[in-house]
Amino acid sequence: MPVSSAYRPDPRLPDLGPEFADPVAAADFPQTLLRFRNDRAAATVGLDTLTDAEWVAHFGRFQPLPGNIDPPLAQRYHGHQFRVYNPDLGDGRGFTFAQLREVGTDRLLDLGTKGSGTTPWSRTADGRLTLKGGMREVLATAMLEALGVPTSKSFSLIETGEALERGDEPSPTRSAVLTRLSHSHIRFGTFQRQAFLEQPREIVRLVDYVIETYYPELDHAPDRTSALLTAVVERAGTLAASWMAAGFVHGVLNTDNMNITGESFDYGPYRFLPHNDPNFVAAYFDSQGLYSFGRQPEAVFWNLQNLGGCLSMVGEQQPLVDALNGFADAYRGGLAAAMLKRLGLKSRGRDLDAGLVNAAFTALAAGGERLRWEPFFFDWFCGDVGRAMASPRGDIYGGQPFADFRRRVAETEPDRPGRLLDPYFAKAEPEELLIDEIEAIWDRIAAEDDWTDFHAKLARIETARKAWDL
């Protein structure tokens, strides 16, 4: 491939050694049809100059990128799945393919796969991804990014020409391989595996690797272990808060589905809320509502406690407890920041911000099923009361349950109100990503191989992202 000057490979994962990952080979797919390439993300790592043929060679047949990881590495990890410990996990249908420096920030980013074939950790599974699952993830990552949520980015989606059998969707169904760009694929479960195997030296190695690679500002901390946990708690609190402001339901908040740098990923059965409902669940198999919308902060904290338990094998107990005790403040601060960002309002200080956030959730609850989640934020963006009252939902906003919220918004200064001049805000309805639309997009692909609606949806989400400018 013609190497762009912006392409800077920096493969660090192999340095961790064989205790953490296994060399693997990608499947030899019968077909490689490019369905999506994220050129905006590719530009951040110097890969936007690839031709489509070169793209398919690297992200469909997985020819190594110059100077990068070769062979790919399937990571080892354990995890609690719905709070039941499972030592039989690991990258069962994916691998880390490359690590690169991000243009402008110098952050190390990973290119990881889903559906690239079997690995030593596939167990009885086929190592494949359904095309529908890949399509859903592309849409989700685009929407989350538009809403200002820290997330992995869908980098590439290639259809691979196989017929898959799945118990939870009509089969046979089409196959694909997804490549995603994320800051890290080191999971809470990566630490759990070493703790389970009682290998404190490997935990220390992992702490050192994570600090050196992702948290270099902690390198000279007097207590590196508790400093790392403090930083992860902060990012996890911010992440959980951003989900709550976005109305996003992850669905499977297992410890192996949370990474050490605080991005959303591995959310197969995700949903976006149609309206406020703390009990809303995304996964049909979550019969107890463990990962319901309203319980997501609790789930994240539970996972952090388990990470802290692993680190207690190599660090002092009290500093780790103190780090975990910081979650409540991290979450509350993150929620205020995320809600203000979504509403396009400036901070007025901790107490007043908290009052506005509480008033917003009270208003959303009062609106019930009549008030959809996303239109609420669209109508009230930058605190324009007149615009909100003139919206199709003005009759709801004029009611007594909204009185406190209306007052608090009127008292709060808008943040960059010029954004309201964007034509996006002249529409009556905002861009949403609800399950019925996702299913309709897939139905057209499945029946007619027509990707028009899929690409049109991505274009509309991109329009919204630019307008929100979160």
Full DSSP string of 286-324: -TT-TT-GGGHHHHHHHHHHHHHHHHTTTS-HHHHHHHH
Neighbours of 61 (CB within 10 A): 14
The pLDDT mean for the chain works out to 97
Q: What is the total residue count of the chain?
A: 470
Confidence of residue 169 (pLDDT cuts 50, 70, 90): confident
The answer on whether 187 is annotated among ligand-binding residues is: yes
What average pLDDT does the segment 70-99 reach?
A: 97
Q: How far is CA 345 from CA 241, 305, 337, 417, 470, in A?
A: 17, 33, 10, 9, 11
8 three-state secondary structure:
coil
Residue 320 has phi, psi (to 5 degrees) of -70, -40
Does 114 belong to an annotated binding site? yes
- Report whether pLDDT(167) > 90: no
How far is the C-alpha of 62 from the C-alpha of 186, rounded, in Å?
21
Q: Give the distance from CA 186 to its chain's centroid.
A: 14
pLDDT at 1: 60
Does residue 188 contact residue 307 with C-beta atoms inside 8 Å? yes
323/167: higher pLDDT: 323
Please check the confidence at residue 14 and state whether its pLDDT lies above 80.
yes
Ligand-binding site membership of 92 (annotated): yes
Has 427 been labeled as part of a binding site?
no
Quick: pLDDT tens for 285-314. Answer: 999 999 999 999 999 999 999 999 999 999
pLDDT, one tens digit per residue, over 236-280 is 999 999 999 999 999 999 999 999 999 999 987 999 999 999 999
The answer to whether 90 is annotated as binding is yes
Q: Which residues are catalytic?
A: 256
Query: pTM of the entire structure?
Result: 0.97
- pLDDT one-digit tens code per residue, 116-159: 999 999 999 999 999 999 999 999 999 999 999 999 999 999 99
pLDDT at 2: 61
In which band, very low, low, confident or very high, does the pLDDT at 168 lie, cut at 50, 70 and 90? Answer: confident
CA dist 325 → 308, 337, 457 (Å) = 11, 20, 41
Q: Is 126 annotated as a binding residue?
A: yes
Alpha helical stretches, state H, 398-434: 403-410
Question: What pLDDT, on the 0 to 100 scale, is given for residue 187?
Answer: 98
